[in-house]
Amino acid sequence: MTRKISYIFNGNATETEIEDHLTLLELIRDRLGQTGSKEGCGSGECGACTVIVDDQAVNACLYLAAEIDGKTVQTIEGLANPNGTLHPLQTAFIEHGGIQCGFCSPGMIMSSKALLDENPNPTEDEIKHALAGNMCRCTGYVQIFDSVKAVSAQDEQEIKAVAWKETQ
Amino acid sequence: MSDFAVIGKPIPKLDAIDKATGRVKYIQDIKLDGMLYGKILYSRYPHARIVKIDISKAKALPGVRAVITGEDVPPKMKLGFYKDNPPIKTGKVCSYRDEVAAVAATDLETAEKAISLIEVTYEALPGVFDPEEAMRKDAPLIHEKHRSNILKLPWKLHYGDVEAARNEAAFVVEDRYSCTWVTHCCMGTSGAIADFDYANNLTIQTNTQIPSLAQKDFLEALKAMGLTEKRVRVIKPCIGGGFGSKLDTYAYEHIAILLAWHTRKPVKIMFDREEEFKATSTRQPAIMNIAQGCDADGKLLFRDISMILDNGAYTSWGATTPSVMMMPITTLYRVPNVRFKAQCVYTNNTYAQAMRGYGNPQATFAIESSIETLARKAGIDSAEFRRINANQSGDVSPQKFRITSCGLNECIDRVQTQLDSNTSKEKGVGVGMASLIHVGGGARIYKSDGCGAIIKLDDFGKAVVFTGATDIGQGADNIVNQIVAEELGLLTQDVHVVHTDTDVCPWDVGAHASRTTFVAGNAALGAARKIKGQLTELAARVLESKPANICLRERVASDKTNSKKSIPIDKLLRKAHFSAGGQMLSSEYFYDPDNENMGKDFRGNLSMTYAFGAHGVRVRVDVETGKVKVLDYVAAHDVGRAINPLLLEGQVYGGVMMGIGYALTEQVICEKGEIMNPNFRDYKVLTAKDAVPITAPVIETIDADGPFGAKGIGEPGCVPTAPAIANAIYDAIGVRIKDLPITPEKVLTAIKERDEA
Ligand code: FES
Ligand code: FES
């Protein structure tokens, strides 16, 4: 069975004809050709595929594409401001060593974004909890926490000011 | 304070911005026009005769372009240094990961379907899954041709007189330690795309840590296919983690080559996570018997180790890990009498590879657990015991390793201070320590330990460096960049590093042995010095000064003796280019360290310098559940010089976390040859929830031979982690766990056994 879904993808109204069984990750990577979101396991265990659907971080590898009908999807490609300014989380991950091989980074950054949008000043435990589904084999997480903390310490207003949503 | 403009600065990873925005391309993300998808059929038995393979149904499936079996593999196409592993098997299979057939199809689904249509008839053979059983005369033979399951590898040394030293020793301890399979779990799974042009030259995009050696392997493969005098170009996409997993070429790469050859189309083979667990290699498991003894003052007198290594069904670098185990065995602490023997044994299990530390974590687990036991037996504080025996600059070890810079004592001090400062006498809490030595200045395993670098400067004051080094996320690109920028008076953003393509990058033996900073760094420095010579001459001419007076810094060439005389470097370069007899600057340099291949008796100075470190950990053990919680961790390392402290700390944190997983949670559960936990639910990589506070003091000993004094730091972070934790557990509850990983069940069993005794 195929069907047509309409959704906002990284700020753009989008329509796609999909099969019922297509996953959101397949839609994003194979149909839309946006390869920033990664597949590390394909079974909901590593978080490399994390994207944000209507403010919620989800594992795109488990999420059916059909379910985004009428919703808003944001991936790593849609995080920086279209004028080229990076999201503060991107800057922080770069500057604090939160990225080594980088394979976990898109998912890690999107999970962190969902966390900070909801809770701009998380405790270390809250950060650990929010990122528990995002595996990283390179960093030992230390500099990833540093990265998230660097942003959470900033003024909430400042974060919002450069988030792409606010610029629409 | 040092007077460097770029060295020692925490410059973010050069490609981090592309990674943070989702722009970089991993092998997962690459598609070529007309590309086919390859898939491999693996064995259903750990040991069986292949009676018949029927590929007719698979071949008939629309969309299938090629189906190949062992019959299509040229007999000379073999993998691994022992050449016992054809990329697709004929006659019989010796492990579950044995490749039996492969297909190429227009899409992945069709390829998968085709694989399921291949009918293989097997005749099961008795298997052997325990290396000690496999050593018995009546054990089933894995490779009949080999006539024994014991590999003919020469891992045996004896320096001094261990028996005599043992008789003299005031205290002796003797134990058996063991460690099982763990695996790299690179977040990016393996994959390759092979593509032939019409002159039969091969381009292969693949995840590799050894572009030059892989190129050689693939050239040999082409030769076996009858394609002589052809060219192979290896392109590395961005690599999602290495940790040693990519130090050999794999069957899937060769199969992609064969399928591309059969179809005349680019063929991509991409592993999913389950395949990654089942069909890539592990760290070498080991059974280790160790005896050590000291005199009444705590001076080590001897170390005697024998090991049995489960080689699995085929031979990759895992079987050569004893060559690196020898380093801690002969040279961690001063120990005059040493004996070591390791036997590698074929079984019907999965086979091992290089993995961060290359045998050192296994050997150090036995040595440092045993050192702690010995210190306690001798009644000497274990940190003090380590200091009594610590290596010193100027030492030559029994294996003829020449210790140059050595910060081991400072590392031990730092660890002890930090552990003492948090002393709490809480019940169930304990502290433990362990030290490490590792190669820090290359490792001459291969005939060459070299790396090349080429630099070209343009009209705009920018440099491009072509390096042999491989970046796998560790920051090889940054190190090369910072060294060249510093030397040429440029800024980081002026230097672009190219490290991805054997067509343009010079030779390098590979990203192994923590050698990249030292060897690729020295190569880059050598090339930069050559250009610097030309630049200073040019500047001296233009500024009417002497080359010796010219200083290059932050994009400007100036005269140290006259502050009025200066010229921007880009302008200087244009002047040189656009004048009569125009000149554009470029240079190349090949650096091969002055280290030695080990001789017949394994003596020889393997590395130009050695990296040292000490780790300390505080744990809490819950005696009801057996759970071990790491409360805090300190990892002090002698790094020579920190070229980039940010990335250096990242190597240590990541290494330590991997080491904690090795100590406590990770194991590939292999039952009768079958991997039972090929997913992240059941294979326990530590997550953010398990993260522990780690401090990473850096001891700078400014090594005389290192680039700007630096030594390697890629692997040391995970070398002494397991014994430090095992020692802390002993300190906490008085039981010694000798088998990794230290699971709650093992802790509970050990407590029970102790209480019953
Ligand atoms: S790829 Fe989706 S959780 Fe791993
Ligand atoms: S940076 Fe490599 S997995 Fe996280």
Q: Model confidence at A1, in pLDDT bands (50, 70, 90)?
A: confident
Buried b or exposed e, range B619-632, using 16+ CB within 10 angstroms: bbbeeeebebebbb
* Nearest residue to B610 (alpha-carbon basis) of B447, B411, B476: B411
Per CATH, the homologous superfamily of domain B31-125+190-270 is Aldehyde oxidase/xanthine dehydrogenase, a/b hammerhead (3.90.1170.50)
Does the pLDDT value for residue B556 go beyond 90?
Answer: yes
* Nearest residue to B681 (alpha-carbon basis) of B112, B218, B274, B108: B274
Buried b or exposed e, range B239-248, using 16+ CB within 10 angstroms: bbbbbbbbbb
Cβ–Cβ contact A86 with B under 8 A: yes
Region B407-417 average pLDDT = 97
| Contact predicate B122/B78, CB 8 Å | no
Provide the β-strand partners of residue A107: none
Q: What percent of chain A has pLDDT over 70?
A: 91
pLDDT of residue A160: 46
Distance CA A72, CA B41 (A): 40
Position in ligand 1 atom list of the atom nearest CA A39:
1
- Beta carbons of B22 and A76 less than 8 Å apart: yes
Position in ligand 1 atom list of the atom nearest CA A47:
3
pLDDT of residue B399: 98
Region B222-237 average pLDDT = 97
Q: What is the pLDDT of residues B159-184, one digit of tens each?
A: 999 999 999 999 999 999 999 999 99
* Nearest residue to B252 (alpha-carbon basis) of B204, B319, B212: B204
Position in ligand 1 atom list of the atom nearest CA A42:
1
Ligand 2 centre from A98 Cα, in Å? 8
Residue reference for tokens 């003919």: B152
Q: In angstroms, how far is CA B410 from the centroid of its own chain? A: 26
Cβ B241 under 6 angstroms from ligand 2: yes
Cβ–Cβ contact B17 with A under 8 A: yes
Distance CA B664, CA B744 (A): 9
pLDDT of residue B448: 95
Q: Model confidence at A161, in pLDDT bands (50, 70, 90)?
A: very low
Does the pLDDT value for residue B363 go beyond 60?
Answer: yes
Ligand 1 centre from A41 Cα, in Å? 5
pLDDT of residue B627: 98
Phi, psi of B432 (to 5 degrees): -145, 155
Distance CA B616, CA B723 (A): 10
Ligand 2 centre from A163 Cα, in Å? 24
Q: What is the pLDDT of residues B673-706, one digit of tens each?
A: 999 999 999 999 999 999 999 999 999 999 999 9
| Record: fold of B286-444+598-756 | Aldehyde Oxidoreductase; domain 4 (3.30.365)
Question: B450 or B425: whose pLDDT is higher?
Answer: B450
Q: What is the pLDDT of residues A27-59, one digit of tens each?
A: 999 999 999 999 999 999 999 999 999 999 999
Distance CA B6, CA B3 (A): 9
pLDDT of residue B420: 85
| Contact predicate B538/B461, CB 8 Å | no
B713 chain-A contacts, CB cut-off 8 A: none
Chain B, nearest residue to A82 by Cα = B21
Cβ–Cβ contact A151 with B under 8 A: no
Q: Is the dihedral of CA B666, B672, B673, B679 positive or negative?
A: negative
For B109, the enclosing helix (H) or strand (E) is: helix B108-117
**How many Å is the Cα radius of gyration of chain A?**
15
Kindly identify the ligand whose nearest atom is closest to the C-alpha of A111: 1
Angstroms from A4 CA to nearest CA on chain B? 23
pLDDT of residue B1: 42
Angstroms from A165 CA to nearest CA on chain B? 16
- Please tell me what DSSP assigns to residue A66: G
Q: Measuring from atom 4 of ligand 2, which residue has the nearest CA?
A: A136
Chain B, nearest residue to A89 by Cα = B20
Q: In angstroms, how far is CA A91 from the centroid of its own chain? A: 15
Task: Give the other-Cβ count within 10 Å of A161's Cβ.
Answer: 13
Kindly identify the ligand whose nearest atom is closest to the C-alpha of A97: 2
Region A160-164 average pLDDT = 43
pLDDT of residue A63: 98
* Cβ-nearest to B241 among A101, A109, A128: A101
Task: Give the other-Cβ count within 10 Å of A20's Cβ.
Answer: 10
pLDDT of residue A165: 38
Residues, chain A? 168
Give ipTM to 2 decimals. 0.96
- Please tell me what DSSP assigns to residue B143: S
Q: What is the dihedral of CA B160, B162, B166, B172, to 10 degrees?
A: 110
Q: What is the pLDDT of residues B443-481, one digit of tens each?
A: 998 999 999 999 999 999 999 999 999 999 999 999 999
Mutate to test the pocket of ligand 2, among B187, B273, B474 (most ligand atoms within 8 A of CB): B187
Cβ A139 under 6 angstroms from ligand 2: yes
The tokens of B304 are what?
């005697």
Cβ within 8 Å of B, A 35-64: 35-43, 45-46, 48
Distance CA B509, CA B517 (A): 13
In this chain, the answer to whether the domains covering B31-125+190-270 and B286-444+598-756 adopt an identical fold is: no
Ligand 2 centre from B283 Cα, in Å? 19
Residues, chain B? 757
The tokens of B58 are what?
């698979």
Distance CA B302, CA B611 (A): 23
Selected residue of B11, B14, B17, B21 to mutate for chain A interface (largest A Cβ count, 10 A): B21
Region B30-35 average pLDDT = 98
Count of A-B CB contacts under 8 Å: 170
Question: Cα separations (Å) of B116 from A44, B87, B272?
Answer: 25, 19, 16
A127 chain-B contacts, CB cut-off 8 A: 688
Ligand 2 centre from A145 Cα, in Å? 13
pLDDT of residue B667: 98
Pocket around ligand 1: residues whose beta carbon is below 6 Å from it? A 39-42, 44-49, 59, 61
A43 chain-B contacts, CB cut-off 8 A: 273, 679-681
Cβ–Cβ contact B685 with A under 8 A: yes
Buried b or exposed e, range B219-229, using 16+ CB within 10 angstroms: bbbbebbebee
Question: Cα separations (Å) of B580 from B540, B574, B575, B576, B703?
Answer: 18, 12, 10, 9, 44
Ligand 1 centre from B28 Cα, in Å? 14
Distance CA B594, CA B335 (A): 25
**Which residue intervals of B429-512 are DSSP H helices?**
476-488
Q: Model confidence at B407, in pLDDT bands (50, 70, 90)?
A: very high
A138 chain-B contacts, CB cut-off 8 A: 187, 241, 473, 650, 654
A90 chain-B contacts, CB cut-off 8 A: 17, 20-21
* Cβ-nearest to A97 among B21, B29, B650: B650
- Beta carbons of A35 and B188 less than 8 Å apart: no
Region A74-78 average pLDDT = 98
Ligand 2 centre from A104 Cα, in Å? 5
Instruction: Enumerate the domain spans of chain B.
Output: 16-23+450-591, 31-125+190-270, 286-444+598-756
Angstroms from B125 CA to nearest CA on chain A? 33
Phi, psi of B414 (to 5 degrees): -60, -40
Does the pLDDT value for residue A163 go beyond 80?
Answer: no
Q: What percent of chain A has pLDDT over 90?
A: 88
Region B32-61 average pLDDT = 98
> What CATH architecture is B16-23+450-591?
2-Layer Sandwich (3.30)
| Contact predicate B153/B319, CB 8 Å | yes
- Please tell me what DSSP assigns to residue B396: B
The tokens of A12 are what?
């753009």
Q: What is the pLDDT of residues A98-123, one digit of tens each?
A: 999 999 999 999 999 999 999 999 99
- Beta carbons of B187 and A136 less than 8 Å apart: yes
The chain-wide mean pLDDT, for chain B, equals 97
Distance CA A30, CA B483 (A): 40
The tokens of B462 are what?
């920018």
Position in ligand 1 atom list of the atom nearest CA A25:
2
Mutate to test the pocket of ligand 1, among A23, A28, A43 (most ligand atoms within 8 A of CB): A43
CB-count exposure of residue B32 (10 Å: 0-12, 13-18, 19+)? middle
B688 chain-A contacts, CB cut-off 8 A: 127-128, 131-132, 134, 136, 141, 144-145
Task: Give the other-Cβ count within 10 Å of A164's Cβ.
Answer: 17
Domains of chain A are 2-78 (3.10.20.30), 88-166 (1.10.150.120)
The tokens of B451 are what?
């790396």
Phi, psi of B654 (to 5 degrees): -65, -40
Q: Is B39 left (phi over 0), alpha (psi -120 to 50) or beta?
A: beta
